[in-house]
Structure 1
Amino acid sequence: MTSDAPQLTDTAAQLDTVAAATERLFTAAAALREADVVEPSLLPGWTRGHLLAHLSRNADSLVNLLLWARTGIETPQYASQYLREADIEAGAPRALREQLEDLSASAERWLALARVMPADRWSTVVRNRQGGEIPATRVLWMRLLEVEIHHVDLAVGYSPADWSPEFVARLLPQSIAEVRPATGGFTVTATDTGYTGTVGVPDTTVSGTAADLTAWLIGRSPGTGLSGDLPDLAAWK
């Protein structure tokens, strides 16, 4: 069981949040040098080029889900896992200018479609690429996750400490619900917000700021700044 966390409920507010996060990401990417694109990101095996290509194709994949919700015609997020990976590999070595143009255009396509979605279509159930059924409103959160987490992965000085309190307050309970420890269970306690959550049958407690806890749970930190016996975690979804 986990303590309650606030969630954005207003669609327009959520879209404004995604747009602002996207602008921060784009500004950071635009400050890269050409040689930086082929340098490693914080994701094992991926360069910054892989990451930028993935962000662009993810926006297009979420366009597919919005079209599904709007028209009622089933449109898979990705045609296949193979094509998803192939598109990322093909896009990774592109020049910085091409990456930035694609990143901007794909984000604008998604935002433009989301802003004109009829209100009664947001409750339409679609499926994510793992096959899970979700209401179309969840697509807004999916895009925000991609932008904010991969901004950190871009290795340009943006860290989990830069995430907004509202973003962390929503992601921390989700990460608790989805994380899988290698053995045993544990409790987390956020020293700055008072949030507590448990995984399995706890035999240890891990404490730290909400942002530090979240970063550790989703594999974006080895646990720097946390106290307690940190269990080994399986890779986050």
Structure 2
Amino acid sequence: MSGQERAVDAEDVPSPAPSKGEVHLVHLYPKEMSIYGDLGNTRCLAARLRWHGYTAVVHDHHPGAPWPDRVHLVLGGGGQDSGQVRVQDDLDVHADRLRELARDGMPMLMICGMYQLFGKAFITVEGLRLPGLGILDVTTRGNAKRMIGPVLLETEVGTVVGYENHSGSTVLGEDQAPFGRVRYGSGNNAADGTEGARSHEVFGSYLHGPILPANPALADALIATAAKRATGDFVPGEVDDTFAVQAHQAQVTRLSPRSGRR
């Protein structure tokens, strides 16, 4: 096992039950594009996979590194404009691969900066245009005003909570579905009531927090798709989500009385 690949089960007391199989996660650019705690999404998925009875193997993909032989789920996080520039060349190298995986139904979660790079283009405040992968039909333009604060969404996987902190204003293409509809917060652009984008099993969002620990239903939706790709089926385990549900509901309760978007 290379230094960039780690079986997460080794960090904890192993379950007496045999593993249901290995699920391989790729975290794109954890140094350059994970400055807002989005590494917590990878850790959350690895922990939940273990609780469901699977072995999680995490591959940290850095610029210039070879692509792993086995991949069942891909994650990316937020970063500054400079971080996006640093990963651009490597992203170009793997662009066709990622587009094909997306078309094939690979589950992916891209947050903030990586969400922008999975779109058609990101134009920085200085006017530098960074071409995106075009997996999501969104275009983002940087601006001086930041959108910061808690967010409450309605999505296909239920109510989702999180925290946004971005200056990019994102517009969806005509046929692009959003990830969710904003009940509280700014979302993509503080104007049209949308947040994020979804195509096939690719989710893009501005929500940090990180997003997955307080939204176990979303985490398990990604896990189910990944486990089916890895083993042919998803057999859930008995997971105690008491604290996650309490954290989720506390944010829903706090934000629900506040109507409208900021």
TM-score, normalization by structure 2 = 0.25
Structure richer in strand, relative to its length: 2
Structure richer in helix, relative to its length: 1
